[in-house]
Each structure stands twice: as structure tokens, then as C-alpha cells.
Amino acid sequence: MLNCASIYTYEVDDQDIALDEINEQLSEKLTLLENSVGIIMCNPEFISTGVLKHICENLPFDLAGVTTSSQAVNDEAGEFILTIFVMTSDDVCFYAGVTEGMETEVDRPLKTAYENIAAVDSEQPKLVLAFPPFGLRAGDAYIRGWERLVPDIPVFGTLAIDDTATFQGCETIFNGDSYKTAMSFVLCCGNINPRFLIATLSEGSAISSKAEITKAEGNHAYEVNRINALKFFEEKGLSERVLYTPFLIDQVSRKDYDGVPVIRGFASFTEEGAAVFHGDIDEGSTFTMLKCEPDDIVSTTCQKVAQINELPDVNGVLLFPCAVRRMTLMGANKPLIELQSARDVIDPEIPFMMGYAGGEICPTSVNNGVPTNRFHNYSLVILVV
């Protein structure tokens, strides 16, 4: 049995009041079983005032997560808020940890952190919850790191962000400490049944015809339709529009291709005219450019969240929408409408936590128990447990 609850506080100044509010909600909503863990998200202000550390040091379980710009739980949706999604069980074990800094590589610090846990319990996890830092590298690198350690295990998570335009204040969190370059994580072992949903922008919002990436490496696309990438976009009259334009990528050349496209965000052009994206761009992939509009964001979110209510045995839900979805809604002067709409749709009896992501990690499918782990942009990813 797995029981969940979402708890929160707006108290960003007084450490004791904040802790009292968290403890009061926890005692009302949940009886802790043998194994417990907390997924935590907060505005960075909670770090600087010491509230985050005080709460984490006085709760009887590990907590891992990230800073974010705004969040929702069953009771509230707001910006200057700290939320915790608590999972507790007698037959699911949770192991939380944090890596060393990942400035230069992913594999060595991740392997060290994982082996520290494996020395305690060698059971293979059924689910990895990953909370990587923002800005060091494309998010696919973290997925590959986990897949080398624990093959064929679903990986779900969010990259840290904050509420600034440059994301300079975002940090990952583990037990009250915060990190600029480390990844916190939770391994879930035992009797857990993760299911995944993804809301992307509708394909009806396309602003370009389909094109092929004919030369690429990592997150750099060098040629599109066999010409220089920058030249391709200039000839199409699209070079000035790409910065906040979603690219719907069909990764047909991947060995684990499952027929499900993903969305990539554009980062920049290099001096040589290569297009740099926030996630890997595979040679041979095709893409269509989409529009990101407020009405489409809200409708795609509501349609996907409504599917949660139809699933059996739902104990709790984590939802991580892309920060650019929020930016688009801010431009329409509706910064909280996606969070509020999700709250309105989801069954109020289902505990959930929702917070904006600097990049989303979620399988696009699970076939015969094998997940197709993917990194996303502009999307809403959902974990149902």
C-alpha cells in the first residue's frame, strides 16, 4: 500500500510558523508508515530565509527536489510557496540521495551516489525520480547516466528553475541543503506501479512544414534538408522566430523509437550557423515548428489531467509543466491559470503536487516493462503512483 499527501506553507520569514503549518497538515492528512520520503519544491526565497532548512531538518524523512517559480497542491496555487509531496508505505522503499557537483561530467558523481545507496540495499529500483541542475548540459545526459546504472527503469523528473528571467538562482535540494551543480534523486523500490502521461502542444498549431535534420550531434543541428541550419531558417523567413518556438521532433532514427514525438526548445545559433537546442537532436529526425499559445496550453493540460481521474488505483500524482508554458501565460497576464485549471480538473481526493520545470524528464511509453525515457521541453509530464 502506498499513501500520499501534499502539504504546503506560504510562510517565508518565520521558520517556526512554517514548520508548525507543515506538521499540522501532515498530521491531519497522513499517518506515516515504515518507509517515507518527501518531494519538495519551493521559491528560492525559502532557502535564503532558512525556512527550507528548518523544515527539512525537523521532518522524519528524507526530502529531495528543486526550486521553482510557482506551484500547486490540492489546497493552493501560488508563487511564493513551499510544497511537499509525501509518499509513505510498508511495501515500497525510498532511498534519497545527492551527487557531487556535475560541472565536468555526469557518470562518475552519479555512480558514486548510487553506489552509496546500493551498499545499503541492492534491490533494483522500480522508478527513479531525478532532479538535475539547470544550465550545465542538455537534459538527455542525465537520462543516459541513469540508464547506464539501472537499465530499463523509468526515469521521471524536473530540472531546477527559479522565478527570474535568467534562472541564475535555481538550485536542487536535498534534506535542506541546496546545490547549483548537483543532482538530487529518489529511488523507489518494491510494490510501486508508476504510470506516465505527457501533454504537449497541439499539432494543429504548426507554423512550418516538416523538415529533416540531415546533420547533427548531441544538441547541435548542423544541417536541415542538407543545407546549413541558419541558412535554412533564414530562407524560410523563420530565423527571427525560433527563440521561443517549440520544435516537434519525430526521432525516427533512434534505435528505441516508439513513434511518439517530443518537443525541443531552441537555445541559439553558433557562429558557424548550427542550431543549438535544449535537448538532443538526432540526425535523421524530422521536425515541425509550432506556436505556443495560452489557450492551447490550458486546453492540452486540462485534457491530459482529466485522464488521471479515469485511471485505477491512483494514490498520488506529480506534475511538472515546462517553465516556458508559464512564460507564455505570463505574457497573457495569466501566470497561474495552468496550475489553477489542473486543480479544477483533478479529482480533489487525489493528492497531487505541480511545479514548473526547467526541462521535463518522462518516458514517452512503457512497452513490455521497458520504458522509453525521454527529455522534453514545452510539455507537461505527469507521474501517477
Residues 149 and 256 in one domain: no
pLDDT at 201 over 70: yes
Instruction: Using a pLDDT cut of 90, give the percent of the chain over it.
Output: 87
**pLDDT at residue number 89:** 98
pLDDT digits (tens, 9 = 90+) for 169-185: 899 999 999 999 999 99
Confidence bin at 167 (pLDDT 50/70/90): confident
pLDDT at 249 over 80: yes
Residues 173 and 266 in one domain: no
Residues 155 and 211 in one domain: no
Q: Residues with Cβ < 8 Å from 315, sequence gap 6 or more?
A: 2, 3, 4, 351, 385
**pLDDT at residue number 264:** 94
CA atoms within 13 A of residue 128's CA, in its CB half-sphere: 32
Span 146-172, average pLDDT: 93
**What does pTM read for this prediction?**
0.96
* Domain hosting residue 328, numbered range: 2-199+295-384
**pLDDT at residue number 76:** 94
Residues 195 and 230 in one domain: no
Q: Residues with Cβ < 8 Å from 159, sequence gap 6 or more?
A: 66, 131, 132, 133, 134, 139, 357, 358, 359, 360, 361
**pLDDT at residue number 240:** 74
Q: What is the rounded CA–CA span in Å between residue 184 and residue 175?
A: 10
Residues 213 and 347 in one domain: no
Number of structural domains (the chain) is: 2
* Spatial CA neighbour of 246 closest among 231, 235, 262: 262
pLDDT digits (tens, 9 = 90+) for 288-325: 999 999 999 999 999 999 999 999 999 999 999 999 99
Residues 149 and 195 in one domain: yes
Span 20-48, average pLDDT: 97
Span 124-138, average pLDDT: 94
Taking the alpha carbons at both ends of the chain, their separation in whole angstroms is: 11
Residues 189 and 212 in one domain: no
Q: Report strand pairing: 2-9 vs 82-89.
A: antiparallel
pLDDT at 239 over 80: no
Residues 16 and 77 in one domain: yes
Q: Which of 240, 260, 289 is the last residue of a domain?
A: 289
pLDDT at 255 over 70: yes
Residues 162 and 89 in one domain: yes
pLDDT digits (tens, 9 = 90+) for 317-360: 999 999 999 999 988 889 999 999 999 999 999 999 999 999 99
Q: Report strand pairing: 352-355 vs 317-321.
A: parallel
Q: Which of 289, 304, 330 is the last residue of a domain?
A: 289
Span 54-70, average pLDDT: 98
pLDDT at 161 over 80: yes
Residues 121 and 231 in one domain: no
* Spatial CA neighbour of 191 closest among 75, 94, 261, 122: 94
**pLDDT at residue number 236:** 83
**pLDDT at residue number 168:** 85
